[in-house]
Amino acid sequence: ETYAEIVLEQEFSCRFHWNENRDTRNPKGNKTGADLVGFIEAEGQVLFLFGEVKTSSETANRPPQVMTSSVGIEAQLRNLYDDRSKRLILISYLKNKMRHYPEGHPFRDDFEAGERAYYSGDCDFQLIGVLVRDVEPDERDVSVSYGRLRTQILEPKGIKLLALYLPIQRNEWLSIINENPE
């Protein structure tokens, strides 16, 4: 999830202001309902961003099962689109975190802009699915799922699917993350 957040921040004008590592110390502090909860700039507006992240080394199926299974990214994004109460829980999560910041702080400004867009009548928000892979790139990893989702996620909502391909085997990721630089 952290890798996905970094790429989204650097390449897609997304912002994740709250350090979720703080929440891991409080079992009641974790958000429920989405791996990614933040903001995205789209067409001159700041919108709430809700998303899911999955990893897979599977090559037998394109797209991999983490995209298409009953608990895969497709189903999770459809659920986030269809379930208003889940989105409201995520917005409440952000609102609770935003309260820690003073007027004029970027987190507060983004939240207020996202809230205006969401409650303006069009219920604007964006959904994103991120697939992290350690295999050779293949556009079918996300194109088939995108083709299905774009017919079900109606405008003005936005949907993005992104595949990130790493040249490092998945079983090595944790040891690399935990390395102490000297």
The model's pTM: 0.86
Q: Where are the alpha helices (DSSP H) in 24-105?
A: 65-68, 73-82, 84-98
| Closest residue by Cα to residue 48 from 157, 161, 149 | 157
Considering its fold, how many domains does the chain have in total?
A: 1
Domain that holds residue 112: 2-177
- Would 137 be classed as within a structural domain? yes
H/E run at residue 2: helix 2-11
- Would 169 be classed as within a structural domain? yes
pLDDT digits (tens, 9 = 90+) for 114-148: 999 999 877 889 999 999 999 999 999 999 999 99
Beta strands across the sheet bearing 158-165: 14-15, 36-42, 45-56, 126-133, 158-165
pLDDT digits (tens, 9 = 90+) for 79-115: 999 999 999 999 999 999 999 999 999 999 999 999 9
pLDDT at res. 168:
78
- Would 182 be classed as within a structural domain? no
* Spatial separation of the C-alpha atoms in residues 136 and 138, rounded to whole Å: 6
- Would 29 be classed as within a structural domain? yes
